[in-house]
A = this chain, B = another copy of it.
Amino acid sequence: MTPKVARYLADMQPVTPCLVLDVDRVEDNFRRLQAALPLARIYYAVKANPAAPILERLVGLGSFFDAASFQEVSMCLDAGSAPGAISYGNTIKKERDIAAAYAAGVRMFAFDSEAELEKLARAAPGASVYCRILVGNDGAEWPLSRKFGCEVEMARALMIRAGELGLDAFGLSFHVGSQQTQTAAYEAAIAKVAMLFTDLEEAGVKVRMVNLGGGYPVRYKAEVPEIDDFGAAIMGAMVKHFGNSLPEIVIEPGRFLVADAGVVQAEVVLVSRKGAEDPVRWVYLDIGRFGGLAETEGEAIKYAFRTPHDGASEGPVTIAGPTCDSTDTLYEKSNYRLPMALRDGDKVEMLATGAYVTTYASQKFNGFTPLAEHYI
């Protein structure tokens, strides 16, 4: 928690649940990432947190943007971004949304299928397109399965087809999974993309860009490698496989830029036991999986907690949200421990919650309104 966030919580006593996010920390993270990967162009993954104060700060820093929808394209434009700085990075787009983005000046689009390529040829003629390939997601705490990307052989055929359709087949992309804690995942993916690069060159398609996606991890409950380790591993792999004719490098960080800038403050609604002798207490908060903490599904992302009783004696807990849905349980198997003195009415903070929280919140499940947001 940054000192500015701590001060804000103490001085303003905002209504819970809420997110308080220090935009200066976003700037620090942007600069740290630039220093770790100086040759990469940063496209902020807007979906991580599309709040205007974040987008505006990043526009001022010269950031590019990765938009998941036409609505996100609009948010970037509203924040002052040039349309040429926006990539429409979702491989699943309605044709009329492609047309709307193209009309707004966007010229960079992702795809991973023939049907999408045909939509792009019709609705974004001549645009620069890049194909997403499937790579391994081992080591990611929020892996991405096979939903996005295609097999290398198909990518090869589609990149050739893109040129035939009058598009600029300028790049290849992959994603190693979000909150990726293994630098080796990037190295393996770069090796895979480099082979396809060479193969396409021999087929007459001069690829000029590699998009490494996002996934750079953030410290939650457990330590993760430093961003400099990822920078070194990525550049080592790029040089190893591309020599000194490096393509343009694009990265799409979301979590890394905003997560540790934000803190969710919640109120303890109830502390109870299921039986008198039950060693585990249930701690119910006024925010849960449907209030924004969607990434706790399967206990994938393990947030760290602060309480007013930290340092006092602790015991095992199950942590759950406030709704009448038992899937709205945050942590039951991850061995969380919280102070024995914790009780209803206490405020607790969940650290590094600036990413993938606000927009996930259900609009009104069980009648609860989404968390308040404070950008400072």
Residues of A bordering B, CB below 8 Å: 45-47, 50, 67-72, 74-75, 89-95, 112-116, 119, 134, 142-151, 153-154, 157, 267, 269-276, 278, 282, 284, 286, 290, 294, 297, 320, 322-329, 332, 343-345, 358-370
Task: Enumerate chain B residues within 8 angstroms of A112, measured Cβ to Cβ.
Answer: 272
Alpha-carbon gap, A72 to B368, bound state (A): 9
- Given A148-B326, A267-B94, A75 contacting B362 (CB threshold 8 A): no
Residue of B nearest to A343 (CB): B115
Task: Enumerate chain B residues within 8 angstroms of A290, measured Cβ to Cβ.
Answer: 294, 360
Q: Which of B67, B275, B282, B360 contacts A154 (CB 8 A)?
A: B275
Alpha-carbon gap, A297 to B297, bound state (A): 9
- Given A274-B134, A322-B92, A369 contacting B147 (CB threshold 8 A): no
**Contact yes or no, B68 A367, CB < 8 A:** yes
Task: Enumerate chain B residues within 8 angstroms of A147, measured Cβ to Cβ.
Answer: 282, 320, 326, 328-329
Alpha-carbon gap, A359 to B329, bound state (A): 18
Residue of B nearest to A116 (CB): B270
**Contact yes or no, A69 B150, CB < 8 A:** no
- Given A144-B326, A320-B147, A323-B68, A370 contacting B363 (CB threshold 8 A): yes
Alpha-carbon gap, A159 to B209, bound state (A): 68
- Given A89-B324, A115-B271, A364 contacting B369 (CB threshold 8 A): no
**Contact yes or no, A361 B360, CB < 8 A:** no
Task: Enumerate chain B residues within 8 angstroms of A89, measured Cβ to Cβ.
Answer: 324
Integer count of this chain's copies in the complex = 2
**Contact yes or no, B363 A361, CB < 8 A:** yes
- Given A113-B270, A324-B47, A326-B144, A366 contacting B94 (CB threshold 8 A): no
- Name 30 A/B residue pairs within 8 A (Cβ), A-sorted: A46-B367, A47-B323, A50-B367, A68-B323, A68-B366, A68-B367, A69-B366, A71-B368, A74-B367, A75-B367, A89-B324, A92-B269, A93-B269, A94-B267, A94-B286, A95-B344, A115-B272, A116-B270, A119-B344, A134-B274, A147-B282, A147-B320, A147-B328, A147-B329, A150-B273, A151-B275, A151-B278, A153-B276, A359-B365, A362-B362
Residue of B nearest to A284 (CB): B92
**Contact yes or no, A369 B93, CB < 8 A:** no
Task: Enumerate chain B residues within 8 angstroms of A345, measured Cβ to Cβ.
Answer: 95
Q: Which of B275, B294, B370 contacts A150 (CB 8 A)?
A: B275
**Contact yes or no, B115 A275, CB < 8 A:** no
**Contact yes or no, B274 A151, CB < 8 A:** yes
Task: Enumerate chain B residues within 8 angstroms of A72, measured Cβ to Cβ.
Answer: 366-367
Task: Enumerate chain B residues within 8 angstroms of A276, measured Cβ to Cβ.
Answer: 151, 153-154, 157
A62 CB to closest chain B CB (Å) equals: 23
Residue of B nearest to A155 (CB): B275
Task: Enumerate chain B residues within 8 angstroms of A146, measured Cβ to Cβ.
Answer: 274, 326
Alpha-carbon gap, A297 to B50, bound state (A): 25
Task: Enumerate chain B residues within 8 angstroms of A94, measured Cβ to Cβ.
Answer: 267, 269, 286, 344
Alpha-carbon gap, A325 to B214, bound state (A): 12
**Contact yes or no, B361 A324, CB < 8 A:** no
Alpha-carbon gap, A290 to B290, bound state (A): 10
**Contact yes or no, A363 B367, CB < 8 A:** no
- Given A269-B94, A274-B154, A276-B157, A145 contacting B326 (CB threshold 8 A): yes
Residue of B nearest to A75 (CB): B367
Alpha-carbon gap, A270 to B143, bound state (A): 22
Alpha-carbon gap, A134 to B326, bound state (A): 13
Q: Which of B148, B272, B360, B369 contacts A324 (CB 8 A)?
A: B148
